[in-house]
Amino acid sequence: MDLKLCCDEIVQQDSIKHLYQATFSLLRRYFPAVHAYWFSPVGDWQVKACAELTSDSCKLSKVSEPEATLLCHRTSSGEAAFNELRAWLQPLASQFSYERSMVTACHNQQDYLVLALPQAVEAHLMLVLKLSEPVLLNDAMQSTAHVCLLQISRQQQKLEFSHHSHQQLSLKHNLESEVIEHIYQNHYLLSFTQKLHKSIMDLSQIKHLDSLYRGVVETSQSQFELDRVALYLYQDSSKKVMPSYGGNVQGQVEPLPDDGLSLADYPWVEKLLQQGQVFDLTETVPLQSPDGKQVMGWRLTLLLMDKDTCIGWLQIDNSIRHNPLLKHQKRVLGVFSSSVAQLLNAMQQEQDFNVLYEINQALAKQSSLDNVCKKSIELGRAFLHLDRAALLLVDPTQCYVVGTWGTNQQGQVVAEHGFKEAIESVPSYHRGMVEHDYFEVNHGCTLHYNQDPVGNGSHGVFSLWDEQKILGFLVVDNLFSQAPFTAHQVDVIKVFCQNIAQIMATRRAEFALKQLNEELELRVQRRTQALEQKQQDLALLNKELAKVSATDALTQIANRYHFDKVYRKELSRAIRQHRSVAIIMIDIDYFKQFNDIYGHIRGDECLYQVAQCLNDCAQRGSDLVARYGGEEFIILLSDCRLQNILELTHKIKREIAKLGICHEYEQANSQLTISAGFVLRQPHLKTMADDLIDMADQALYQAKRRGRNIIVNYDDGVANKNPALLPD
């Protein structure tokens, strides 16, 4: 071999591939080889390159990456042959030394020349030549080959080191780019997170639910740099979708039209609910741009989930600025939607409870039926945000409805005692006469005042029933605001009507009692000759009447009127004698659903059974069990301790369970259950009467909120909004 020529060719190579090519070409000149293989001992003898050799050319057929292990054009048989060659080659490594860089060997009747490129102790690169004829080696060839192979090895190590350094530099640049991108994203994520916290704080200060709906849309568009956002509310029981507010094609927030759509009209939302997911991003959907043209953009849907309850969803798109949805925006919006869901649900429940409670308290203070009617209209417009409302009573013939108080076309509450209309002439009145708790809401109607048209809008009729007796109708509309009635608003109005009907029935009973007493007094005056007998009769009758006025007709236990009288007396006695007083509020769980499933007759039977069970459990002579309203009962305990209350409440739960009243809506055990809240105090002021009932009511509310079928003590955390649940 020409040593200088070999070395010059080797050091001039600037890449691994060229080094392979030069080495194979060099070997072709001096040895009768037909194939050449370059092996590395790393990774179980990987093949680095191979070539086909002829007398005048070197065709490099494979250059492998370090992890490659197979030859080019491999087949199942070729791969097996290569593995056999590799297994034969490995033991030859021990035959090489400083003086011996080449060995010849025969394998499967084929002559091979194996050359070792020294790199480290017992670590060699192997060059294998498949010979076309045998080769005789001598010491001169060995010496020359060693110098040449050493030069090849050094150049190979140099090139590989350069290659690895370039890779390390490239990796470093990639890591720096990733770090910069990460810092950039964290910067924006921090900014959006700060906006998120501020947005939630601002929204939590809103007091009215409708304002909160609008605020959610406005805040999400402005704070999170979104083109259009729409808020849709969802009622799981009816599968109805109630649009609230959303951005129009210019991005301005306005009320969304209520087209009477259901969940089936939003299949992608229905799919999310079925799959238990909360996030849906459609990359390409047709959208309307501000100039009225159709453009393609993305649509993001975020479900508003509070625990397992879907309150609604936010629908977002990029129809105006066409900006992409960034990764940090999606992360922040996910947290925002969860916070909004909790805020909406909490405010809705709190507002419903406060409004209905305040209305009921105010109506209960009215001394006459006419005052109840007038106050109902005033409170309904003030608290339930009704544009116009009117209370109509069914006359004794049940052929007409007559006016009491209503709202004129200027929004003023006015007396309408002269109004009279035939029930048969209005289909909704006719249906309400035979259907318990009937209601009907229509949109796009002609609205009237004194039978004269005054505009268009939504119109609702709600029947007022006292158990099995129709009392009248509450008629409402949206003449001024034109805001459609939501399903939630309808539900609140229905409860409002139930409270009105109950108080109206009580006032009628009181009025009837008053008339009867006056009649009795007149008879006594006219029958002076039978004064003694008549006085006895009157005393007996008054006793019976007092019993009737003190007893709830359906449940045959004390009514609220009687309870209030006894409660005031007992409170005064407790103050004088420094004794304790306990109030237990009890509510039948899911009683509305019980009525819906089994009917109101079964519902009345259920109320009676529960009332008698409560009465049987409270066995002390001083204990008083009363129906407080609807499916709510109240128990007054005097001079008792906490242990007495716990024993009584758990006894009530056990006895209710023994009744075995089936309730399919109660999925846990399919039986009727009750929730209870109580408070124990030693009163010192008469003004604490309402406070104690309110405390017990708050404890009951917490029991309902925490899942029902539990008992909550007001003193165990209700005041701190963290009620303790009493174990069974």
Q: What are the residue ranges spanned by the domains of the chain?
A: 3-166, 206-288+295-344, 366-512, 551-726
Q: Roughly what angle, to the nearest 10 degrees, separates helices 487-526 and 369-383?
A: 170
Tell me the range of 19-23, 108-112, 179-183, 439-443 where mean pLDDT is highest: 439-443
User: Residue 567 above 90 pLDDT?
Assistant: yes
What is the C-alpha to C-alpha distance for residues 728 and 725, in angstroms, rounded to an integer?
Answer: 9
Helix, strand or coil, per DSSP, at residue 393: strand
Q: What is the mean pLDDT of residues 535-545?
A: 77
For domain 3-166, say whether CATH 3.30.450.40 is its number.
yes
- Hey, which residues does 296 pair with through a beta bridge? 286
Q: What distance in Å separates the CA atoms of residue 189 and residue 515, rounded to the nearest whole number?
A: 73
* Residue 678 buriedness (CB in 10 A; 0-12 / 13-18 / 19+): buried
Pick from 194-203, 213-222, 650-659: least confident: 194-203
Q: Sorting pLDDT into bands at 50, 70 and 90, what band is 69?
A: very low
- Between 172 and 396, where is the model more confident? 396
Distance CA 610, CA 594 (A): 13
In this predicted structure, the answer to whether residue 182 has a pLDDT above a threshold of 70 is no
- 681-696 pLDDT, tens digit per residue, is 999 887 788 999 999 9
pLDDT-derived band of residue 562, with 50, 70 and 90 as boundaries? very high
**pLDDT beyond 90 at 655:** yes
Burial of 229 from C-beta contacts in 10 A (0-12 / 13-18 / 19+)? buried
Which tokens go with 243?
A: 């649009």
Name the pLDDT band for 544 (thresholds 50, 70, 90).
confident
Same fold, 366-512 and 551-726: no
The pLDDT assigned to 264 comes to 83
Question: Could you report the per-residue pLDDT of 282-337, keeping only the tens digit for each?
Answer: 888 888 888 888 888 899 998 988 777 788 889 899 888 888 887 777 777 878 88
Q: What is the mean pLDDT of residues 532-546?
A: 76
Higher pLDDT, 207 or 44: 207
Confidence of residue 530 (pLDDT cuts 50, 70, 90): confident
Cα–Cα distances in angstroms (integers) from residue 367 to residues 357, 373, 507, 559, 562, in the given order: 18, 11, 7, 17, 16
Q: What is the dihedral sign for C-alpha 438, 442, 446, 448?
A: positive
**702/713 Cα distance (integer angstroms):** 10
Statement: residue 130 has pLDDT above 50: yes
Rg (CA), the chain: 45
Which H or E run includes 440? strand 439-449
User: What confidence tens digit (pLDDT) does each residue in 1-21 have?
Assistant: 555 566 667 667 777 777 777
The predicted model gives 117-143 an average pLDDT of 68
pLDDT (mean) for 624-640:
94
- 3-state helix, strand, coil split of the chain in percent (to 5) is 50, 25, 25
Decide if pLDDT at 619 tops 90: no
Instruction: Give the pLDDT score at 492.
Output: 85
Site of tokens 């009837």: 512
For range 135-140, the mean pLDDT: 73
Question: If pLDDT is split at 50, 70 and 90, which confidence band does 720 have?
Answer: low
Put residue 708 in one of left, alpha, beta given phi > 0 → left and psi -120 to 50 → alpha.
left
Q: What local confidence, expressed as pLDDT, does residue 723 receive?
A: 44
pLDDT: which is higher, 96 or 223: 223
User: pLDDT by residue (tens digit) across 356-399?
Assistant: 888 888 888 888 889 999 999 998 888 887 889 999 999 989 89
206-288+295-344 adopts what CATH topology?
Beta-Lactamase (3.30.450)
Q: Which residue has the higher pLDDT, 722 or 692?
A: 692
- Provide the pLDDT for residue 106: 83
Q: What's the whole-number mean pLDDT along residues 133-156?
A: 73
Give alpha helix (H) positions in 224-326.
267-275
What integer is the mean pLDDT of 423-449?
88
Contact at 8 Å (CB) between 143 and 128? no
Query: Which position has the higher pLDDT, 260 or 242?
Result: 242
CATH architecture entry for 366-512? 2-Layer Sandwich (3.30)
606 band by pLDDT with thresholds 50, 70 and 90: very high
Report which residue type is found at 345: N
- The answer, yes or no, to whether residue 120 has pLDDT greater than 60, is no
Percent of the chain with pLDDT over 90: 27
Strand partners, 462: 439, 474
SS3 (DSSP) at 396: coil
Mean predicted confidence (pLDDT) in 410-433:
89
What is the residue-averaged pLDDT of the chain? 81
pLDDT of residue 6: 65
Exposure class string for 99-112: b at 16+ Cβ within 10 A, else e: eebbeeeeeeeebb
> In whole angstroms, what is the distance from residue 196 CA to residue 198 CA?
5
Identify the DSSP state of 640.
Answer: -
64-78, 214-228, 289-303, 694-708: which is most confident: 694-708
What pLDDT sits at residue 68? 30
CATH topology of domain 551-726: Alpha-Beta Plaits (3.30.70)
By DSSP bridging, strand 420-422 and strand 439-449 are unpaired
Asked if 407 and 388 touch (Cβ cutoff 8 Å), the reply is yes
Percent residues over pLDDT 70 in the chain: 83
The pLDDT confidence band at residue 75, using thresholds 50, 70 and 90, is: very low
Whether 554 has a pLDDT exceeding 80, the answer reads yes
